[in-house]
Amino acid sequence: MDLDLDAATLDFRGEVRGWLAEHVPRPGLPSMDTAEGFAAHREWEATLARARLSVVTWPREYTGREASLVQWLVFEEEYYAAGAPGRVSQNGIFMLAPTLFAHGTAEQRDRILPAMARGEQVWAQAWSEPEAGSDIAALRSRAERTDGGWLLSGQKTWSSRAAFADRAFGLFRSDPSSSRHHGLTYFMIDLRADGVTVRPIPQLDGEPGFAEIFLDEVFVPDADVIGEPGNGWRVAMTTANNERGLSLRSPGRFLAAADRLVDLWRQRGEPEWAAERVADAWIGARAYQLYTYGTATRLAEGGQLGPESSVNKLYWSHLDLGLHETALDLLGADGELAGPWTDGYLFALAGPIYGGTDQIQRNTIAERLLGLPREAR
């Protein structure tokens, strides 16, 4: 059991650190949930890609470096420590791409991945529907067969960054006689296609961070179906564990935030009442870092991400929230002033909801890891 980084990883860390020190925009970019900020973040993705740093774990042919998971974790640590911009491409990179690697065709990968890696095409996740939130298998949007493809109709909602994104991926009911997780198909959709209407939804901070997507007989060619028609649920589940289990929030983000919190606590004169909470934030970030090194080791040895990814998601969402609440409490009366800590706080508030709510994660842990009796579903 060790925590040693090999020479290649140490070199890589050095390269990343040096590059970020030179390239991270100061001051930071405007919010990616505005048209201007979205464009700036898209440009940043292109800048990252030119240094082959946008998708380090991918194969070289798709502008990656075939970095190991540990190297990716190191990249993320450096990335957040440097205060680099949020990743506008994250849903494509961390959810769609793994799905394409697992279930896509070579043609799909060649066509989609390079443009994604360079930020030329930004992807939105279109899973949730008005009547299908936690219970995603209740989805109603449908796909009807037509010449050379499918006609998609229905409504998706809460789709992050869809207000400005180029394309979206989601599940549609392709077998009208099916129910629940049967008869679903995984599609990639052009958000500029005829029949698509995107209606931005302002979030708590007032910016349109997510959107509704209305589809009215939108044509999608067969080439944009991932996996077999009717097999969409299984295809989608690959990404669900990826999202919860590793990629959605890497430890680097919380390590950087915990360090900033310790600094803030010092600046405020090390108040005794906050010591426990500040220490717990640091301990929590360190725990999550080490836990993730363990996960990376397991995956490198051929393991799979299973229900334990719910442990991960439940943990970091609370770590993030607690950390930001503590910062705002430390700031006292100034805690209400809009700034990086309130931004981070509003962001953290959604953590226990998206990617599977706290309650759903707890059900999964209890049923799948502890073997407690399943809920009626």
Partner 1 sequence: MRFTPSPEQRQFAASLHDLLSGADTPGAVRAWAEGRPEPGLKLWRDLADLGVTALRVPEECDGLGAGLTDLVIAFEVLGYHAVPGPLAESVAVAPALLGDGERLRALAAGRLLATVALPPHVPYALDADVAGLVLLVENGAVYRGEPETEPVRSVDAARRLFRVAGTGGALGATDGSAFEAGVLAVAAELLGAGQRLLDEAAAYARQRHQYGRPIGSYQALKHLLADVVTRLELARPLVHGAAVTATARDVSAAKAAAGEAAYLAARAALQVHGAIGYTAEHHLGLWLTRVRALTGAWGGGAYHRARVLAGA
The C-alpha atoms of residue 132 and residue 130 are separated, in whole angstroms, by: 6
Residue with tokens 């008005």: 130
The answer to whether 326 contacts partner 1 (rule: CB under 8 A) is no
Sole binder of partner 1 in the list 210, 288, 341, 345 (CB under 8 A): 288
Residues making contact with ligand FAD (CB under 6 A) = 125-128, 133-134, 158-160, 210, 350, 353-354, 357, 359-360, 363, 375
Q: Evaluate whether 328 touches 341 at the Cβ level (below 8 Å).
A: yes
Angle among Cα 310, 298, 94 to the nearest 5 degrees reads 55
The answer to whether 3 contacts partner 1 (rule: CB under 8 A) is yes
* Active-site residue (options: 45, 78, 129, 243): 243
How many Cβ atoms from other residues are within 10 Å of residue 124's Cβ? Answer: 26
Residue 243 annotated to the active site: yes
The C-alpha atoms of residue 10 and residue 370 are separated, in whole angstroms, by: 39
How many Cβ atoms from other residues are within 10 Å of residue 363's Cβ? Answer: 18
Q: How far is the CB of 3 from partner 1 (least distance, A)?
A: 5
What, of partner 1, ligand FAD, none, does residue 342 touch, CB below 5 to 8 Å by kind? none
Sole binder of partner 1 in the list 101, 291, 347, 354 (CB under 8 A): 291
Q: How far is the CB of 34 from ligand FAD (least distance, A)?
A: 16
* Residue 255 Cα distances to 82, 209, 252, 281, 284, angstroms: 12, 25, 5, 9, 9
Which two tokens mark 131? 């009547």
Residue with tokens 């989608």: 236
Q: How far is the CB of 236 from ligand FAD (least distance, A)?
A: 11
What, of ligand FAD, partner 1, none, does residue 279 touch, CB below 5 to 8 Å by kind? partner 1
The answer to whether 305 contacts partner 1 (rule: CB under 8 A) is no
Bin 72: left if φ > 0, else alpha if -120 < ψ < 50, else beta: alpha
Q: How far is the CB of 42 from ligand FAD (least distance, A)?
A: 17
Angle, helices 69-81/7-23, rounded to nearest 10 degrees: 30
Residue with tokens 């990404």: 239
> Which region among 177-185, 210-218, 273-281, 336-344 touches partner 1 (by CB under 8 A)?
273-281
Between 34 and 295, CB nearer to partner 1: 295
SS3 200: strand
| Of 350, 144, 319, nearest in space to 229 by CA | 144
What, of partner 1, ligand FAD, none, does residue 158 touch, CB below 5 to 8 Å by kind? ligand FAD
Between 265 and 316, CB nearer to ligand FAD: 316
Length of the chain: 377
The answer to whether 81 contacts partner 1 (rule: CB under 8 A) is no
What, of ligand FAD, partner 1, none, does residue 332 touch, CB below 5 to 8 Å by kind? none
Amino acid at 224: D
* Interacting residues toward partner 1 by CB under 8 A: 1-6, 9, 70, 258-259, 262, 265, 270, 275-276, 278-280, 282-284, 286-288, 290-291, 293-294, 296-298, 301, 308, 311, 314-315, 359, 361-363, 365-367, 369-375
Residues carrying an active site annotation: 243
